[in-house]
Chains A and B, each alone.
Chain A
Amino acid sequence: MSAIEHSFQKRFPTTSPRGRRPVPIRVLFALELLKHELGASDEDICQRLRTDFAVMYACGLRDYQVNPSQAHFVLPETLCEFRSRIDETLMDELIAIQAAVAMEEGLVSPAHLVIDTFPCEQGSQRVTDATTLYKAQKKTLELIVRITPQCRSRATTLTNQAQSLHQEIKKVMRCFGRQCRGQGHVFVKLVRHTEQKLLELGEPITALGQQAQQLLAQATALSDATRARFAEAFNAAMHNHAHIRQQSTRLIQGKKAPPL
């Protein structure tokens, strides 16, 4: 563990002694390993660190509620941040350290090796009605954010509104993802609840889209071809959004989706 800590210290040196003490590398590293060993999500493992003595012990925390660095309280975001700092080189180094220690202790030998490959799939997004609605909303907002600054230099209000709305709906989807991971299943009730929230939050999207369309129609800085291309993309996004929004509204009211 000291070799791993040294490796991290070398790569990410402490530049200033000020500020809150960091969560020890050992705790974060142990949590990451335990996460895979127990098949838990970030939130689950961070919660277990607070409540499960076995997890605390595995993280090297022998005392409870006396550690001034508050290592018992690791947020899932901290774990995510820690993970994002690990790149391929560091990961190889960590495995090499582990293998070297095992070889030094005479536990394993690299004399005879076997190589093989195996396929693994990229985790797919949950395809639910809520995700479809989110994607439609996201696409429209992204178009607004991309197109409006090109139409007029002082369209910041509209852009800011679209950006903040995008952030809000992103939060809802993150919350949905966490709830699904926590329960291990996607429940219809959860999907409908998320859809309801997205519909409520996404109400201004139609108005924002119309404003953006007006701006686009008045934009003289753009060439005709560009304007036509943007207008086509916008119309398609708005049409899809309206259609999916209508479907979701029916679904949350307990009605069946209309036939395609």
Chain B
Amino acid sequence: MSAQFGHKPGIVSDPATGFLFASRVPEGNPSDPSYVLPLLDKVQKAIERVKTPQRPRVHSLAGDRGLNDTALRQTLHARGILTVGIPKTVEPITPNPSPEEVRDILTEAGLNRQRTPHQVHLACACGYSRPVVESHIASLLSRGAGQVRYKGHPGATVQLGMTAMAHNGAVVVRIRQQCLSKRAQKFRRLLGLRHRKINEINNPKN
């Protein structure tokens, strides 16, 4: 496909804060499910760079109905990733599933021994939400991702990558300054992400 028609970049982000873990600008206009695995591979590469003893893992993935593909779901389940965040119908995802529903979700995914009910609850709460994703995209568009100014596909990759990095920089500053929504703060708390009081002296007062 010629570049004159534009591009369709894909992003993978943290729904709570909007931090982008990876971005991809494919050539042409491929189907939405074809974005998922390359993006997840990029996230995995980023995770492999983490030097802490407990490496983080991807528990669940959310997306719109464009990602509702049986083969993709099976591949994600095989990787130990819940797909409850990808809707199958136009009905909204239940944010608070009952214990029976949680059991059904885990059984269907074949992840009974890998994922806990708590993680399923969080995955349901992190299910696809258009306003959340739109806010991430809007942030990228405000940084000039809406119109590729560099030449060709390599230019589009560089521009989107730099935009994503600039966006991530702003997100990190927001997290450090605790300028997060109540929802994001709650998610961070539930995920066990600590708020480091970098601007406060933690030494004893006396």
- Interface flag for A252 (CB, 8 Å): no
For chain A, residues 52 to 111, give those with C-beta under 8 angstroms from any C-beta of chain B. 83, 86-88, 91-92, 94-100, 102-111
Flag whether B78 is at the interface (Cβ < 8 A).
Answer: no
Assess whether B102 is interfacial by the CB under 8 Å rule.
Answer: no
Q: Which of B56-91 contact A (CB under 8 A)?
A: 56-64, 66-67, 85
Contact A108 B166 (CB under 8 A): no
Docked Cα-Cα span, A140 to B169, in Å, equals 48
Given known pairs A108-B17, A120-B9, the reply for A92 and B57 (CB within 8 Å) is no
User: How many angstroms from the CA of A34 to the CA of B4 in the assembled complex?
Assistant: 27
Stretch at the interface among B44-52, B93-101, B105-113: B44-52
Q: Which residue of A lies closest to B38 (CB)?
A: A92
Contacts of A16 in B (CB 8 A): none
Q: Which residues of A contact B122 (CB under 8 A)?
A: 111-112
Contact assessment for B56 and A103 in the assembled complex, using a CB-CB cutoff below 8 Å: yes
Q: Which residues of B contact A118 (CB under 8 A)?
A: 8-9, 11, 137, 140-141, 145
* A233 on interface, CB distance cutoff 8 Å: no
A121 interface hit (Cβ, 8 Å): yes
CA of A74 to CA of B197 in the docked complex: distance in angstroms?
A: 37
Considering the complex, give the chain B residue whose CB is closest to the CB of A87.
B154
Closest to B174 in A: A107
Q: Given that A111-B56, A112-B62, A121-B6 are known contacts, is A36 also in contact with B14, CB under 8 Å in the complex?
A: no
**A interface list, Cβ under 8 A from B:** 32-37, 39, 83, 86-88, 91-92, 94-100, 102-123
23 residue pairs A–B, Cβ–Cβ below 8 Å: A36-B144, A91-B158, A92-B161, A94-B165, A100-B46, A102-B172, A106-B196, A107-B176, A107-B193, A108-B19, A112-B14, A112-B15, A112-B59, A112-B61, A113-B62, A114-B62, A114-B63, A114-B85, A115-B11, A116-B63, A116-B137, A117-B8, A120-B146
